[in-house]
Amino acid sequence: MIKRNLLVMGLAVMLSACGFQLRGTGTNEMSIKELDLSARNAYGETVTQMRQALQSSGVNVHAGAPYELVLTSEVETQRAATYAGGSGRSAEYELTTVLNYSINGLNSANLLNDKIEVRQVYVYDGNNITGSTQSALQTRNEMRRNLVQNMMVRLQLLTPAQLEQLQLKADERAKAEAQAQEAARRAQDETPQQSPLQLPIQ
């Protein structure tokens, strides 16, 4: 029994050293200390929970931060997982939520785009429509919490050094595009334009 307890404690120490934490035990400090946050639905539940999670992890969320997390869209879908043969029967529905996001840097340069997808199944009882509706809402709320937790995990994997490298690449792309546009403009300016036909004066 003592060996078993020591083994469990040893695993817990190893996992915590690797940055792993169980749900409900708090969040790890993030290496990103400043972050702006925006969303299409600025007052939605997802962005609200995301802001709270960031702040509880020691991140100063404010406008003007060097990097911005943008929740570009959140799409919810539902499909029947099992078929109910008649009215009043139970059926399973698979709910899916896809959260698309991007991280922008200085001068609104786009550094990366990605998405997080979560799925969950709930049972619809045709004999208890009110209860089934409540169950669907609870499932959606749990999925939203999972989205936020997954996003936090991804952000914890990002370091300021990685973001700086992404910023440098974005700056190089922007510079190359600007040079290409300038070269195209100069080429157009240097191309002889056909002069209008001059009629002799009588």
Query: So what's the pLDDT on residue 84?
Result: 62
For the CA atoms of 48, 53, 58, 60, what is the dihedral angle to 10 degrees? Answer: -20
pLDDT at residue 14 is higher than 90:
no
Query: Three-state SS across 150-184?
Result: HHHHHHHHCCHHHHHHHHHHHHHHHHHHHHHHHHH
Domains defined for the chain, CATH in brackets: 32-171 (3.30.160.150)
Strands 68-80 and 34-39: parallel
- The predicted-structure confidence for 87-128, as pLDDT tens digits, reads as follows 557 789 999 999 999 999 998 899 999 999 999 998 887 777
pTM check: above 0.85: no
Give the mean pLDDT of the chain. Answer: 82
Strand residues in the chain grouped as ranges (E): 34-39, 60-61, 68-80, 90-104, 110-125
